[in-house]
Amino acid sequence: MPHDLFGDAVVRPASRRVLRRTLTVCSIALHAVVISAIVVAQLLAVGPLPTPRSPLTYTVVHLVELPPIDIPVRRPPVRAAGQDTPTVSPNAAPLEAPDRITTESGRENERITDARPDIVVGVEHGGTDLLNGVIEGGRLPPPPPPVPQTPVRLHIGIQSPRKIVDVTPIYPSLAQISRTAGIVILEATIGVDGSVADDVRVLRSIPLLDQAALDAVKQWRYAPALLNGVPVPVIMTVTVRFSLNR
């Protein structure tokens, strides 16, 4: 009895299997027909094929060298003995180079004289002219003294000055007693002769050591700084170190 009650639930009837198989075959056939119709429609929708282009043709050009052409030179006509000779301007250049150079007629005794020996340049009545004075007797006045060069900061384009005379600073007694030491930084101007100008100023101060550093630096001597091979005054910083011997 149990087998009879649940047999229909486990085993499918034969009619349902046949129906499912029939539907599957029909679906496959329908898909095949639709795909074939689409392919045939695309083939029929293709227009006429493009006309092939005409083949390229090449033309070979042969260069033929032509013989040289003689260009006739136009020469002036030859005049007979009785015909008039055309007038030639005296300022015109000669057709042929002369054999020698002769003095112009009427200028043998002519002499070029100088102007007045005293030539005033500028304002006529004693004013200041544009050329710095008066030219007297054909001679120029002496040039003005050169403009003093202003010191410049030391940079890459300048050859640094080199110390050639060194003076050791005197350690102050009060600084030794108080055990004061350190580095004093100064700003000094080195002239074109290598000397240190008097306007040395202190950048980093140690009160007990500043004066000793100033007195020593003013006695130093340098090989001057060079700019394009010419000595120039420069402004540079120098350091003076004070240390106590233990």
Q: If the chain, 246 residues long, is cut into consecutive pieces of 10 residues, what is the mean pLDDT of each piece?
A: 49 70 88 86 67 62 70 68 62 70 61 46 43 53 66 87 93 92 94 92 94 94 91 93 82
Rounded Cα gap, residues 178 and 208, in angstroms: 10
pLDDT, residue 52, reads 59
pLDDT, residue 19, reads 84
Max Cα distance, the chain (Å): 169
pLDDT, residue 38, reads 86
pLDDT, residue 171, reads 93
pLDDT, residue 94, reads 67
Strand partners, 223: 162
CB atoms within 10 A of CB 41: 9
Q: 229 CB contacts (<8 Å, ≥6 apart)?
A: none
pLDDT, residue 163, reads 94
Copy the structure tokens of residue 77. Answer: 């006509």
Q: Is the pTM of this model over 0.85?
A: no
- Give the containing element (helix H, strand E) for 213: helix 210-217
Copy the structure tokens of residue 80. Answer: 């007979």
Closest to 217 (Cα-Cα) out of 180, 188, 175, 193: 188
pLDDT, residue 214, reads 95
pLDDT, residue 1, reads 47
